[in-house]
Amino acid sequence: MTEAEFIQALRRLPLHAGARGLTDDAAVVAGLVLTTDTLVESVHFLSTDPPADVAWKLVAVSLSDLAAKGARPEGVLLNHPLTDDAWDRAFLSGLAEVLGAYAVPLIGGDTVSLPAGASRVLSLTALGADAPAPPRSGARAGDTLYVTGTVGDAGVGLRIARGEAGPLGLCNRYRRPTPRLAEGRQLAPLVHAMADVSDGVLIDAARMAAASGLAVSLDLAMLPLSRDLQAFSGDNRAARLAAATAGDDYELLFAATADLPLPVPATAIGRFVQGAGLYLYQAGEPVPLPDHLGFEHAGN
Amino acid sequence: MTEAEFIQALRRLPLHAGARGLTDDAAVVAGLVLTTDTLVESVHFLSTDPPADVAWKLVAVSLSDLAAKGARPEGVLLNHPLTDDAWDRAFLSGLAEVLGAYAVPLIGGDTVSLPAGASRVLSLTALGADAPAPPRSGARAGDTLYVTGTVGDAGVGLRIARGEAGPLGLCNRYRRPTPRLAEGRQLAPLVHAMADVSDGVLIDAARMAAASGLAVSLDLAMLPLSRDLQAFSGDNRAARLAAATAGDDYELLFAATADLPLPVPATAIGRFVQGAGLYLYQAGEPVPLPDHLGFEHAGN
């Protein structure tokens, strides 16, 4: 089964009113925003990634979901598999760093052992409070699609982490993403829909459009790319498509009226219109959709 | 690192006020009880266990933590690793069964892929409401230690699941534990301390005593054993020690005054006294503590 098929099957179970039909990255229960993420060794992180960076990423990706709802982080629960001492101790030091950096306390968790040689699988559940919690499904026809920061950096960073020569700054965007908590707090009360870019701009934009019952058009030429990325990849269509389909950026993607005075820097990259699907352009010229719009999980 | 060492290291991180110092199986945040549990293939369940039973157990063990706090289940978040379709579909049918049996809706989750051949690692986070939430640490000197139901059945059930001949009823106590939600709701407002028996009566009683700053004495002769267990294991000291140190029973263990009229059936098995540690007896005669009081996780 693919991830999408599995989630579709989950939708046939009794759902909590706060589950938002499982169309969002976060749920809202009793005023709390809830989100949970699992990182798998050799899938979401490399066995060679420093354990402190794995801890950082585990926390940051859930905080990014809270950011997309405009929530103040309340705390996290950790599901940790014990493996070797050195790894676990380095993980703990990274955990202390990231919790300290964002002033997030630990609420609880579960600690288990793994069979020898098993892949590490770590989960984190984050709680947030005081959230306007704009849904993924709230885009309106005529809205502009915006993204904060630059995209594609983490995708290149993964290549560098795997051994290609390139700037450490890009590698750090992959290993130590920055949840856009302050930006999310300011944007959330103003926007119609918001999500973070975890699986790639194209797939995350397509999901926002589908959840909102709309089509979205997106112009590759408008994608904000960092200078480091342009220096590494060049700036042709292939490089822009790679940036648009790479995951792990954890920028905020949002739908808002075109004339909204933005409280934080962001780039207009597309537009929601009546209809369904994703339409891709480059400087106004239609571009065929790539085979993969972003990262999707599947069974063996 | 052992589980205890890892949790001790976590206690040095900033903790949420609702984390209860990580001495409890559940936290309380904004009036919600939160608990999370991870099940690992070949550690918490067998590769040969029916996937529907794994789903049942995954949900039941977290609901059991809610039961120990006297909470009404509000919903669950699921962290699911996609593997082969047949396993995942059978898991989904078990998930539908257990959520239906306890009227628990799905709030959200995360779905990931695993490297080929990796052990399945599943996590579930459960939320509960309206909970008196008696702590694990609230036992008072002079309190009686009680347990609901019978203990040791799941330990024997695991042996049957592994191939020994024995009654299916015991195997089902291992594969499909019953969270004592109704009992917990009635007991929680009346007792001083409560926890569920997940790792074994001895270790869970010792943890309750340690968290409460007390010693606990426990009489093996008073342990409630099922007829099936007595028929399978006999009823000598070895059988009673095995029952007292086997995990996965998910009965409720609680401390209350000796003269409390109990609203549900339970058996007095020991007593809290000033001091520290666990003291074991059989019909009043001291019994040396076994090497292992119950199930504890450790790294490789």
The 10s digit of each residue's pLDDT in B232-285 is 999 999 999 999 999 899 999 999 999 999 999 999 999 999 999 999 999 999
Give residue-wise pLDDT tens across range B189-246: 999 999 999 999 999 999 999 999 999 999 999 999 999 999 999 999 999 999 999 9
Query: Do B194 and B238 share a domain, yes or no?
Result: yes
Tokens at residue B253, please?
A: 């263990």
pLDDT score of A300: 55
Helix (H) / strand (E) containing A58: helix A51-68
Whether residue A124 is contained in a domain is answered as: yes
Chain A contact set for B109 (CB, 8 A):
10, 36
**Of the candidates A84, A99, A111, which has its C-beta nearest B6's C-beta?**
A111
Tokens 């529907």 belong to which residue? B52
pLDDT score of B300: 55
pLDDT score of A299: 67
pLDDT score of B25: 87
Q: Give the Cβ contact number of residue B98 at 10 Å.
A: 21
Whether residue B299 is contained in a domain is answered as: no
Query: Do A121 and A81 share a domain, yes or no?
Result: yes
Query: Do A120 and A162 share a domain, yes or no?
Result: no
B window 73-112, beta carbon within 8 A of A? 74-75, 77-85, 88-89, 92, 95-96, 99-100, 103-112
Q: How many residues does chain A have?
A: 300
Question: What is the band of B183 on the pLDDT scale with cuts at 50, 70, 90?
Answer: very high
pLDDT score of A9: 97
**Number of domains, chain B:** 2
Query: Do A161 and A228 share a domain, yes or no?
Result: yes
Average pLDDT over residues A250-277: 97
Give residue-wise pLDDT tens across range A58-75: 999 999 999 999 999 999
Percent of chain A with pLDDT over 90: 94
Taking alpha carbons only, the member of B37, B41, B93, B87 closest to residue B64 is B37
> Can you tell me the distance from the alpha carbon of A129 to that of A166, in angstroms, rounded to the nearest whole number?
39
Kindly determine whether residue B38 and residue A125, on different chains, have CB atoms separated by under 8 Å. Answer: no
> Can you tell me the distance from the alpha carbon of B59 to that of A127, in angstroms, rounded to the nearest whole number?
20
Domain housing A37: 3-129
Whether residue A294 is contained in a domain is answered as: no
Query: Do A169 and A220 share a domain, yes or no?
Result: yes
Q: Give the Cβ contact number of residue A47 at 10 Å.
A: 10
Estimate to the nearest angstrom the gap between the alpha carbon of A143 and the chain centroid.
21
The residue in chain B having the minimum alpha-carbon distance to the alpha carbon of residue A103 is: B14
- For position A265, which CATH number holds? 3.90.650.10
Query: Do B155 and B250 share a domain, yes or no?
Result: yes
> Last residue of a domain, which of B98, B129, B160?
B129
Q: At what angle do helices A51-68 and A85-101 cross, to 10 degrees?
A: 30
Whether residue A188 is contained in a domain is answered as: yes
Query: Do A197 and A70 share a domain, yes or no?
Result: no
pLDDT score of B295: 84
Q: Give the Cβ contact number of residue B156 at 10 Å.
A: 26
Query: Do A118 and A154 share a domain, yes or no?
Result: no
pLDDT score of B230: 97
Tokens 């179970």 belong to which residue? A13
Residue A154, min C-alpha distance to chain B (Å): 19
Tokens at residue B60, please?
A: 């039941």
Average pLDDT over residues B117-136: 95
Mean of all residue pLDDT scores within chain A: 96
